[in-house]
Structure formats: structure tokens, C-alpha cells
């Protein structure tokens, strides 16, 4: 069966080069070959995240580390900043882990604002917060730097930040931001197969984790640090992902970070222009649109054109591309188009041409 090219916001299309790297022969994960591989990618991961801290590799999807961060760092109460399906779910996960948790909920489509976070933290009840930089379900990018700036005012609160669908598409300077955890899954802007999560912890996060008794084993941040110091992971990793990451980092630094960020911004802008050209409005509040995906309004809010999304998706798929029909409670009343990973002006134009045809008569 012919491959349908992925333009859903994860997993995204994986290049031939990445797949070739992924499919190299296995090596032992305690041997020198693996340590050399890990040591080779570490400086580039640190450059990507602008950090002196060691970057950890978890064989799990992002949720593993999202849950792990709660188990490692929350002893009092966590503030869950909620603005869409993923950030809402993090509150649910905190409660499932038995943590005392409180929502800071804004309507889907709105960003999380620093003032609201400040007001909650000022109560002194919290020792951690969860925040999603780019809410993939709504296409909203919240102001990470403004929220991270609050860390100076609340140094004892652990700032846990999900950059799953923004890392490598938008600058995320870990040390400068001063937050405690940044994590990102591999199947979004990194354009690797799903199944691995990168993350980095502040010295304060590692020190706090070391005092927390029921943090478990698989996602124990202290174990990650101890092993990373030896260029290893606590348990057997997906070695194929590490090969693929090595190859992807080569691509990223050949292109250059600034060029990669500019490319994502430009392709997202092109997608918004496509939507406007066809009479659609956008779901996110103006000024907070994501650089990695576009969430198009299709009746979720007043204004703009409304179409039959499943029919549109089907017609686009018949032309070789998979787009997303909306997530959770905004399924069908929005649809989403990803431009993250390896996309270019030419590949986006090919998608737009298919969508132009598919829209006719809808
Ligand atoms: C995809 C996504 C996740 C969840 O990732 P999994 O790979 O399914 O664990 C979490 N947060 C954001 C922002 C995402 O886009």
C-alpha cells in the first residue's frame, strides 16, 4: 500500500536518512560502542538546549517522563497549567499518581499567562508546576520565557516544562530560562520515530529528587544522572533511537538552529495564510499561534468557513497526505495541519495543492 505522508501533529514524517540510521545493527548498551555514541551526541543535545546539564534519554514516550517528573518532584502540591488536551491530562495524571494537584484552567484556544500563574504561586501552596509550551491539541504556544521568569520569585517551586512539540522548532534555552525540567518526545518536531523522550533537569531538581522516597525506578531522575555521567541510561534503551538521534542532530546542526527556527516560523505562517485564503479563521487566540502546527477553526468559535472535516480529510488522504481532524472535544470543529520536522516550502506547497483540490465543492 502506498505510504500516506504524515502532516498530523505527531507522529510526523520520518526521512529515509533517519530510517537508515535507525536500522543499524544493535550493540551492547554497557559496551564502549554505546558509550561512545552517547558521548558523541551529548554535546549537541546540550547545544540544542543551551545547557551545561547532562541531557537524558528515556525509552518511553513523553508521558513516561511527564509522569516521572511528578513522582520525582512533587511532595506538597502541584499546579497544573491547563489550556488543552495534553495539559489538562497532566492534572489527571498527577491525581492518578496520588499527588495533591490544582488546576489553573483557561479556555481551550487561550494561552497560559504569567500573571495567572503568579497569582496561584503567591498562595505558597505549591512546590511544583506543570506547563506545556506548545499545546498541540489547540495549536497554542504559551509565553514560556514570561512564565519561566517567575522562577526567580518562587525558587522553591519546581518548574516542569513540556516542550514536546516545540523543541528544535523554537529556541528553548534551558539554563537561561532557569526552569527545572524540560522534556520532549521524539516523534514531534524532532521527526524521529515515536518511543523516546529527551529531558534535562536543573541541579535543584536532581537535589530534590534525591530526597523523594517513592520516585520509583524506571523514571528515577537520580538514576538518569548517575548513568548519564557514564554515558549510559539506567535500563536498556532503544538503541535504534539513539542512532537516529545522532543522525538527526547532524541534520539539525548542518541546517543551523537559527535557520531551523526560521523555517518552522515561515512554514507555520504559510499554513495560516492558506487557511485565510480559503475563508477559515484560526482556533488559537491571535498572537499565540504555534510555529509547528496550525489549528484551523471549523465552527469551534464564531466566524470563518465551516466544512465537513472527515470528508475533507478523506479527500486529502486520497491525494497522499494525512491531516488531523481535531483533538478531543474540538474534533471536527477544528482541524490541524503540522509543519514540524523536515518540511520545506516545497513540501508544504505540495500539501496545500492537495488541500486546495480537496476543498472544491465542500
Ligand atoms: C504528543 C504530546 C504529548 C504526549 O506524547 P506521547 O508521545 O503520546 O507520550 C505530550 N505533550 C505534548 C505537548 C504533545 O504534543
| pLDDT tens digits, one per residue of 178-211 | 999 999 999 999 999 999 999 999 999 999 999 9
CA–centroid distance, residue 63 to ligand 1 (Å): 7
pLDDT tens for 64-121 read 999 999 999 999 999 999 999 999 999 999 999 999 999 999 999 999 999 999 999 9
Compute the average pLDDT of residues 30-58.
98
pLDDT tens digits along 143-165: 999 999 999 999 999 999 999 99
Provide the percentage of residues in the chain whose pLDDT is more than 70: 100
Which has the closest alpha carbon to 221: 53, 78, 101? 53
Q: Give distance in angstroms: CA of 168 to centre of ligand 1.
A: 15
| Cα atoms in the 13 Å half-sphere on the side-chain side of 44 | 19
Spatial separation of the C-alpha atoms in residues 298 and 340, rounded to whole Å: 22
Q: What are phi and psi of 184, to 5 degrees?
A: -155, 130
**What's the rounded mean pLDDT across residues 338-344?**
98
Q: Which atom in ligand 1 lies closest to the alpha carbon of residue 194?
A: 7
Residue pointed to by grid coordinates 489527571: 92
| Percent of the chain residues topping a pLDDT of 90 | 99
Q: What is the pLDDT of residue 249?
A: 98
**Per-residue pLDDT tens over the stretch 116-145:** 999 999 999 999 999 999 999 999 999 999
How far apart are the CA of 62 and the centre of ligand 1, in A? 6
Pocket test for ligand 1, best of 9, 60, 86, 292 (most atoms within 8 A of CB): 86
Question: Which three cell numbers mark 149?
Answer: 521568569
Domains of the chain: 5-11+256-359 (3.90.1150.10), 16-253 (3.40.640.10)
Q: How confident is the model at residue 170 (pLDDT cuts 50, 70, 90)?
A: very high
- Non-local (6+) Cβ contacts of 179 within 8 A are 148, 151, 159, 160, 161, 202
Hey, which residues does 324 pair with through a beta bridge? 336
Cβ-contact 334, 312 below 8 angstroms: no
Q: What pLDDT digit, counting tens, does each position of 298-338 carry?
A: 999 999 999 999 999 999 999 999 999 999 999 999 999 99
Which protein residues are within 6 Å of ligand 1, measured from CB? 10, 61-63, 86, 132, 134, 136, 162, 164-165, 185, 188, 194
* pLDDT for the residue numbered 2: 86
Burial of 114 (0-12, 13-18, 19+ CB in 10 A): middle
Distance of CA 32 from the midpoint of ligand 1 (Å): 32
**Residue 154: predicted pLDDT:** 98
C-alpha cell at 277: 485564503
Atom of ligand 1 nearest to the CA of 60: 9
Instruction: Please state the pTM of the whole predicted model.
Output: 0.98
- Dihedral of the alpha carbons of 77, 78, 80, 81, in degrees to the nearest 10: 110
The answer to whether residue 258 scores a pLDDT higher than 90 is yes
The size of the chain, in residues, is: 362
Amino acid at each position: 500500500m502506498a505510504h500516506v505522508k504524515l502532516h498530523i501533529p505527531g507522529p510526523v514524517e520520518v526521512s529515509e536518512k533517519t530510517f537508515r540510521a535507525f536500522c543499524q545493527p544493535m550493540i551492547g548498551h554497557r559496551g564502549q560502542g554505546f558509550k561512545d555514541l552517547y558521548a558523541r551526541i551529548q554535546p549537541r543535545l546540550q547545544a540544542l538546549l543551551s545547557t551545561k546539564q547532562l541531557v537524558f534519554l528515556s525509552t518511553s514516550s513523553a508521558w513516561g517522563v511527564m509522569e516521572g517528573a511528578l513522582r520525582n518532584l512533587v511532595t506538597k502540591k502541584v499546579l497544573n497549567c491547563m489550556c488543552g488536551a495534553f495539559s489538562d491530562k497532566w492534572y489527571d495524571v498527577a491525581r492518578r499518581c496520588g499527588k495533591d494537584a490544582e488546576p489553573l484552567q483557561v479556555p481551550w484556544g487561550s494561552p497560559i499567562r504569567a500573571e495567572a500563574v503568579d497569582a496561584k504561586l503567591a498562595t505558597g501552596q505549591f512546590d511544583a508546576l506543570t506547563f506545556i509550551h506548545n499545546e498541540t491539541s489547540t495549536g497554542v504556544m504559551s509565553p514560556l520565557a514570561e512564565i519561566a521568569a517567575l522562577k526567580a520569585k518562587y525558587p522553591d517551586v519546581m518548574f516542569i516544562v513540556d516542550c514536546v512539540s516545540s523543541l528544535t522548532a523554537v529556541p528553548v534555552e534551558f539554563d537561561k530560562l532557569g526552569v527545572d525540567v524540560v522534556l520532549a518526545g521524539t516523534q514531534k518536531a524532532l521527526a524521529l520515530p515515536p518511543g523516546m523522550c529527551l529531558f534535562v533537569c536543573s541541579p535543584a531538581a536532581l537535589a530534590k529528587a534525591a530526597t523523594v522516597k517513592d520516585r520509583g525506578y524506571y523514571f528515577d531522575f537520580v538514576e538518569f544522572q548517575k548513568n548519564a555521567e557514564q554515558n549510559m541510561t539506567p535500563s536498556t534503551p532503544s538503541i535504534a533511537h539513539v542512532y537516529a538521534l545522532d543522525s538527526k542532530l547532524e541534520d539539525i546542526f548542518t541546517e543551523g538552529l537559527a535557520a531551523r527556527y526560521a523555517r518552522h516560523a515561515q512554514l507555520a505562517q504559510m499554513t495560516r495564510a492558506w487557511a485565510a485564503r480559503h475563508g477559515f479563521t484560526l482556533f488559537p487566540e491571535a498572537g499565540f499561534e504555534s510555529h509547528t502546527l496550525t489549528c484551523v477553526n471549523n465552527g469551534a468559535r464564531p466566524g470563518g468557513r465551516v466544512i465537513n472535516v472527515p470528508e475533507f480529510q478523506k479527500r486529502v488522504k486520497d491525494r497522499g497526505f494525512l491531516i488531523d481532524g481535531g483533538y478531543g472535544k474540538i474534533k471536527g470543529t477544528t482541524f490541524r495541519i503540522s509543519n514540524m520536522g523536515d518540511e520545506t516550502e516545497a513540501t508544504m506547497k505540495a500539501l496545500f495543492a492537495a488541500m486546495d483540490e480537496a476543498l472544491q465543492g465542500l
